[in-house]
Structure 1
Amino acid sequence: MPEITFSSERVYDGYLAVNSCGKQWLTDRDYDTVRKNGRIDYSIHYVVKGRGYFETNGNTVQIPEGSLILYFPGIRHHYSFKKSDSSVMMWSHFSGYSCDILKKYCLSPAVMIRIQDRKQFESAFEKMIISHYKKTEFSDITSEGYMTVLLSLIVQSLIPNNIPCIKTDNENLEKAVNYMHENYNQTIDIGLYAKMCCVTKDHFIRIFKARFGTTPYHYQMKIRIDRAMEMLETTPITVTSCAEAVGFCDIAHFSKIFKKFTGHPPSYYK
């Protein structure tokens, strides 16, 4: 197959569209690609042969054969290939609402994924590139079909391994959760927690829900109520003082939230 490349960047509001794709033999020189603002569509870069290098949060991760980098829209790209590795890469940029499934299974907007069924994945990728290159009357539909297969294989590769995303994101998430437990009576600041994880507010909420099954707000509020219930049961503290101790300024609001979580008013535990 000859080296094939296209350049097209767009957001598609339909089911799925392959904006560009190609295959490269990275043997003539070292390659180092940086896109500070990423792209407006999704990107995958799959290593057929050799290896690549992927930078995230200041760490460099090696991308072995049979693995890919997935970037969400608007996320900084930084990946490289060395001439000495004689690598071969296939890539695709795509968009559409079917891509939302990736948000469900990926804890990070920039991840490395090891593909389980390499043979099927590479076959579908090759056929998609050829179809896209031909630009016939039916090439868009055919390319969309092959891209759907690729998305399915990517998700299947994520699920059995319990979503193997970049370790650094999980470590930062643990730091944010530990901070919540240590400062549960402070203002619930999603912006602060997101900054601790080096992600946006929306993405922090998404990865938090994927990990704990609830929102950061609900999680920290439960810590407050659990602590309040413990204080009311084991100490002579008043309901008003207890509310203040766990971060509530309004006793009525405290009582409402307390009953919502426990099914009883605070006075029930005195």
Structure 2
Amino acid sequence: MNHKTLLTNHLSNLQVDLFMVNYNRCGTDWRDLDYTPDYSKFYFICEGEGWLKIGNQEYYPTPGQLFLMPERTTQSYSAINDRPFLKYWCHFSAKVGGINLFQILKFPHFCEVDDPKLVQETFNSILTYAKSGEVYAHMMAKSKLLELLSHYIMNLDLSQISYVNVPAKDKMSEILTYIDSNIEENISVHDLAQIVYMHPNYFIRFFKQQIGVPPIHYITGKKIDKAKELLTCSPSTVTAIAEHLGFSDLYYFSRQFKKHTGMNPTEYRKQTTVLTSP
């Protein structure tokens, strides 16, 4: 399985939470050294000068740069003259399967933003929703934070994103490739655990930590994706498609299909036929 596909699997189950957001100018006394926060940070520099240290790397950010400072990484910052930063910033968490995203993936600490206005608008939306008392506001703030993280990734070359634990990455690549290649079979947790020489109970925890959902949930989702493709592109009956994908019980297949798509297979086929008709 290639790097892009594996990244997509990880990021599609990403969950974020927003703790704090603001837009202000730092004071000339803005300074803290060698602290390790339990939250991640974005800094989007608009004006001014300053100094950051993330892990062992030092930076002098410039306007238009978006900095990512991962949680549980030792950091320092300081103003360096009488023109301190004017910046947007937020504190947040990002997790996959309950695990800190930055314990799984290593990102560059900053990117040059192609569209600064778009990033400013996204931050302003986060600010607006964070200050709102509406019942939906926190949900909207989180969705905009996810959008901001997406902008960050869009401004990177994917080769800049690496895995913290390469052996775990290699195991997941082997597992997901096996699932894709054998999606028409009855794939069990025991089968997958044997591929990577793990006890099934440990394997279930490992898979969920890496991908964000249990392995059976993931496999079922992949089977339903394949069923949607076959219902759209092949003349096979619903019963034949269910059997082809390893569902011996047509009722169970229909129930799982509706759970994932909101309609049963026959309804789905009719709907897609209408949509694809000339």
Q: TM-score, normalised by structure 1?
A: 0.49
Q: TM-score, normalised by structure 2?
A: 0.48
Structure number, greater radius of gyration: 1
